[in-house]
Amino acid sequence: MSDANGTETREGKVKALFDKLDGNPFFGFSRPYLNFIGKGAIFGFVYLIMAVVSLLLPFFVIYLVVDSGFLGEVGGRAVIAFIFSWLVIAFACWIGFQLWWNRRKQVAEVAESEFVAIPICAGILRTFGEWLGTLIGVAGFGVGLIASIVLGNYMRMLEGYFGIPGGPAIIFTGPVTGFFLLVFFRLLAELLKVAAALANNAKAIAENLKSK
C-alpha cells in the first residue's frame, strides 16, 4: 500500500513539475506560432503572396519590355501598342489579385474540419488554375488584338523578343488555353476534395460502428 502511495506521490510531483514548466515563458513563447500552424492558418500566406505577385506582375512586364529593346527597335507604334497592352495586362492582374484576396477567407472555414491539408491544397490548386487561366485568356485576347491592329507585320517580332507566338492566332489561342487550364486545375482540385470527403466519411463510419 505504501509503495502505491509513494508511486502516486512521485507521479504527482512529476506532473506538478511539468505543469510548472508549461507556465514558464522559456517553454511557452512559441505557443502562438504552434497554434497558428496547427490550425492551418499558415496556408493563408499562399493566398497573400499570390495576391502580391498579381499586383507586382504588371510592373515586371514594364521592366521586361523596356529591357528587351523592343520599343526602340519598332518605334512609336510599339509604344502605343505597349501602353494599351499593359492596361489589359494590369486589368487581368487586378482580377487575379481580387481572386486570391477573396479566396483566402476559405482557409479559415476549411481549418475547422478534421482533414485540413487536402481541402486547402485543393482550394489553392483551383484558385491557381482560375488565376492562370484568367491571365492567359484575358491578356492573350487583349494583347493579341491590340498588337494585330497596331503593330501589323511587326507583331511577328514578339516571338523573337518575348517568346509569344506571333500572328493574330493568339487572339483565339489565349482564351482557349486559359479555359482548358481552368478546367484542368479544377479537375485536380475536385479529385483532392473527393479524397478528403472519403477520409471524413470513413472516419464517421468508424466512429458510428464503434459507438454501436
pLDDT attached to residue 33 = 61
d(CA 154, CA 161) in angstroms, rounded, equals 11
Q: Do 127 and 48 contact (CB within 8 A), yes or no? A: no
0.85 exceeded by pTM: no
Closest of 65, 58, 79 to residue 151, by C-alpha: 79
SS3 at position 166: coil
d(CA 178, CA 170) in angstroms, rounded, equals 12
pLDDT attached to residue 1 = 46
pLDDT attached to residue 165 = 62
d(CA 178, CA 158) in angstroms, rounded, equals 20
Place of cell 488584338: 145
Rounded percentage of the chain residues whose pLDDT exceeds 90: 26
Q: Is the pLDDT at 153 greater than 60, yes or no? A: yes
The cell for 158 is 514578339
What average pLDDT does range 104-121 have in this prediction? 71
Closest of 53, 206, 83 to residue 150, by C-alpha: 83
> pLDDT band for position 140 (50/70/90)?
confident
Question: How many other CB atoms sit within 10 Å of the CB of residue 85?
Answer: 22
pLDDT attached to residue 44 = 80
Between 158 and 194, the more confident residue is 194
Question: 97: which residues sit within 8 A by CB, 6+ positions away?
Answer: 51, 54, 55
Q: Which helix (H) or strand (E) holds 191?
A: helix 170-211
H-assigned helices in the chain: 2-22, 25-28, 31-38, 44-68, 70-74, 76-103, 106-110, 117-150, 157-162, 170-211
pLDDT attached to residue 94 = 96
Report pLDDT digits (tens) over 36-82: 666 666 778 889 999 999 999 999 998 888 877 767 766 777 788 88
Question: How many other CB atoms sit within 10 Å of the CB of residue 84?
Answer: 16
Place of cell 521586361: 64
